[in-house]
Amino acid sequence: MLYFVGLGLGDEQDITLRGLQVVRTCRTVYLEAYTSLLCFGLGPSAISTLEELYGRPVVLADRETVEQGADAILEEAKSSDVAFLVVGDPFGATTHSDLVVRARNMGVKVQIIHNASIMNAVGACGLQLYRFGEAISIPFFTETWRPESFYDKIKSNRLLGLHTLCLLDIRVKEPTLESLCRGKKEYEPPKYMTVNTALEQLLEVEENQKCNAYNGNTICVGLARIGNLHPMEDEMLAIFSIQSHAE
């Protein structure tokens, strides 16, 4: 069996009782570590904290492990119980949906254990969940890559009187362009987008598009560290919601 276990948005205590029971019986436990992060990070101390609670070794699964080594994980799940831990809810990223489909196509049994995610915890800002339209992701701009495809979705949501949940980029263990050219992996320092950076990029896109989907006076709600009860120095995750015309 391949278990997809949601960990919630806080610390090691946020796993559900059912999820904890499953993890403690699995032969191998993977922690997906690139679509989102636990509030206390991904260092050795964080892994030790999880292992102490779970009573099982935890294997850190970065982007390369998930995208290039998925077949090995699925093959293992054919003959033993494997847990794939996801911060938030297992279906918070399309990568996990793809893994579920691939597992079922290979005849691997799958079980999902849900948990809280930013998709429902955003209600903490006071905006009604049923008034949110399609969510978007905002990536870090670079000198040569400044995508604007999310703009039309914001504009469409606003025309319908709906809020837009914008998920801000995190970059963990991303190879540098130079290392890719040389064929020897070297990684960029971890980087987490702040609300201010997202706003600067959004205003740049509006300046280019000139469709008045929003402007510098648009009321927004900025949120960081949702579900984390402990103070932190750095923003690990931030989102904001563009207020609809109707409010």
Binding-site residues from annotation for S-adenosyl-L-methionine: 9, 89, 92, 117-118, 168
Give the number of C-alpha atoms closer than 13 A to the C-alpha of residue 197, restricted to the C-beta side: 17
First to last CA, the chain: 47
Specify the residue for token string 């040389």: 182
- DSSP lists the bridge partners of residue 82 as 2, 28
Could you tell me the two tokens for 224? Answer: 């960081």
**Distance in angstroms (rounded) separating the CA atoms of residues 85 and 6:** 6
Is the CA virtual torsion 209, 210, 211, 212 positive or negative? positive
Q: How distant is the alpha carbon of residue 237 from its chain centre?
A: 8
Which residues are annotated as part of the binding site? 9, 89, 92, 117-118, 168
Residue 241: helix, strand or coil by DSSP?
Answer: strand
Amino acid at 105: N
DSSP letter (8 states) at residue 213: S
